């Protein structure tokens, strides 16, 4: 899927940039050129930057329901 039609930038390219350290829209603009023409894709590109929830963190902070007794 194209994230940025103006510059033919795919979601795969954006995901790779994020995996390689892009943390802001400015990073994506510098690395890929996304959202540098009409800007309509800026919010879509930024959505790839939102922090991913790490399942191990959720498990470590999970609170047991009050009806379960701690072992």
pTM beyond 0.75: the answer is no
Read off the CATH number of the domain in which 38 is found: 1.10.10.1100
User: Residue 64 pLDDT more than 80?
Assistant: no
Q: What pLDDT band is residue 70 in, cutting at 50, 70 and 90?
A: low
Residue at 8 is within a domain: yes
Domain of residue 28: give its range: 2-50
Convert the pLDDT of each residue in 25-40 to its tens digit. Answer: 999 999 999 999 999 9
* Number of structural domains found in the chain: 1
Q: What is the 3-state secondary structure (H, E, C) of 1-69?
A: CEEECCCCEEHHHHHHHHHCCCCCHHHHHHHHCCCCCCCCCHHHHHHCCCCCCCHHHHHHHCCCCCCCC
Residue at 20 is within a domain: yes
Residue 65 confidence (pLDDT): 57
Cα(65)–Cα(53) distance, integer angstroms: 21
Residue at 61 is within a domain: no
């Amino acid at each position: 899927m194209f994230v940025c039609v103006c510059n033919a930038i795919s979601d795969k390219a954006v995901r790779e940039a994020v995996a390689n350290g892009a943390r802001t829209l400015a990073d994506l603009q510098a690395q890929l050129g996304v959202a540098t023409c009409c800007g309509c894709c800026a919010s879509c590109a930024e959505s790839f930057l939102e922090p991913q929830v790490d399942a191990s963190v959720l498990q470590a902070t999970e609170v047991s329901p009050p009806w379960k007794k701690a072992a």
